[in-house]
A = this chain, B = another copy of it.
């Protein structure tokens, strides 16, 4: 038996013994997701499952063990995923710490920073928020003005962040701040970690057109940060930010990939077919089939980009193509979904609210770099068209 096969047996046995039955059922609502942190209490099985997985380092299977990870290689991590899927085990932990800050710390953090923060992320002890955007620096992220002053033994931060998801439930925030107001726009920015449990940090939820949202405004009024909490070099935070933005782009772009029910099936269920077996609304049918073909081409592209990257053939800016096309596709899909459900979809505040989903998708092509910014990137980096 190969090492991998014996690893699989081991994983299977462990999961069997340790995954609570409640954690093998599909999540029914957002409330079933575990995000960790000090401010939220989770159910007993949720907490148990998180603690057990964390004890193996399997909330972050590929991170090094010294930072609370599982130390698995790619193949082993895949086995773990497969075995979890087999028993329909839920993910033990959702976390911006895992998805965003972790990779940045692993790449740019000092050993001390990693030791301090990564294990708490892995165990779900500390919940992180992201502080990038500002009201007057939307697509133009680098125009940020949140001021971070060197006060000798600490930094003093003043300013405002917007679109900080779940900031009202987070314990710490990783933020881009301006540490040099004289330098060129991209060169005076630092990437800093700030404890939110202090009077100088307050949050206020943002209501969206789609209703309640995880987004907040976060205000810094004489907030304090320790000097060792700058990640990467001082004034070189833009490098860290760019690295993370590419990550984010791929995550959002992936939303067009059609994990949802195909639009054609929904439409047939809602509207029925004519006697030729065609969807009863012939014009909607035209739009849906074109959407589905584009969706197939998009999924093939996701696959190709990923396989090319593995083969070392990838192009850097392709994440912009995925982000741009994926989010625009997703908007089209939800428009057609609205067309399919008709008046039923216009009700507000009901369960499984199509309208809220529809409105929410409109933000996909704005957050994480607007479609316009992605097109700029494609035009500059891939097509190498000149600037004015």
Name which of A46-54, A95-103, A139-147, A277-285 contacts chain B.
A277-285
Residues facing B in A280-329 (CB within 8 A) are 282-283, 285-287, 289
Q: Is A388 an interface residue (CB 8 A)?
A: yes
A residues with CB within 8 A of B: 278, 282-283, 285-287, 289, 388
A287: B residues at CB distance < 8 A: 286
Q: In the complex, which residues of chain B have a beta carbon less than 8 angstroms from the beta carbon of A388?
A: 388
CA distance A283 to B292 in the complex (A): 14
CB distance from A20 to the nearest CB of B (A): 51
Q: Is the interface of A mostly helix, strand, loop or mixed?
A: helix
The 4 closest A-B CB pairs, nearest first, are A286-B286, A283-B286, A282-B282, A388-B388
With both beta carbons as reference points, the residue of chain B lying nearest to A289 in the complex is identified as B283
Residues of B within 8 A of A286 (CB): 282-283, 286-287
Could you name 9 residue pairs across A and B whose Cβ atoms are closer than 8 Å?
Answer: A278-B282, A282-B282, A282-B285, A282-B286, A283-B286, A283-B289, A286-B286, A286-B287, A388-B388
Q: Chain B's nearest CB lies how many Å from the CB of A280?
A: 12
Interchain CA distance A282-B280 in the complex, whole Å: 12
User: What residues of chain B lie closer than 8 Å to A278, measured between beta carbons?
Assistant: 282
Which residue from chain B places its CB closest to the CB of A290 in the assembled complex?
A: B283
Q: A282-B286, A388-B388 are in contact. List 7 more A-B contacts (CB 8 A).
A: A278-B282, A282-B282, A282-B285, A283-B286, A283-B289, A286-B286, A286-B287
User: Contacts of A282 on B, CB cut-off 8 Å?
Assistant: 278, 282, 285-286
Tell me the bound Cα distance from A388 to B387 in angstroms.
Answer: 13
Q: Which residue on chain B has the smallest CB distance to residue A283?
A: B286
Please give me the residue from chain B that is nearest to A287 by CB atom. Answer: B286
- Find the residue from A278, A282, A285, A289 having the highest chain B CB count within 10 A: A282
A388 to B388, CA, bound (A): 10
Interface centre among A285, A286, A287, A289 (most CB of B within 10 A): A286
Write the nearest CB–CB distance from A350 to chain B, whole angstroms.
Answer: 31
Complex formed: what's the CA distance from A129 to B189 in Å? 62
Distance in angstroms between the alpha carbons of A286 and B285 in the assembled complex? 9
Q: Which residue of B lies closest to A286 (CB)?
A: B286
CB distance from A248 to the nearest CB of B (A): 29
Residue of B nearest to A284 (CB): B286
Return A186 CB to nearest CB of chain B, in Å: 21
State A285–B282 Cα separation when bound (angstroms).
Answer: 9
Question: Which residues of B sit under 8 angstroms from A285, Cβ to Cβ?
Answer: 282
- Shortest beta-carbon distance from A376 to chain B in Å: 14
A283 to B291, CA, bound (A): 13
CB-CB under 8 A from A289, the residues of chain B are: 283
Alpha-carbon distance A286/B286, docked complex (angstroms): 7
Question: What residues on B are CB-neighbors of A283 within 8 Å?
Answer: 286, 289
A91 to chain B, nearest CB (A): 41
Bound complex: CA A289 to CA B284 (Å):
13
Report how far A285 CA is from B281 CA in the complex, Å.
13
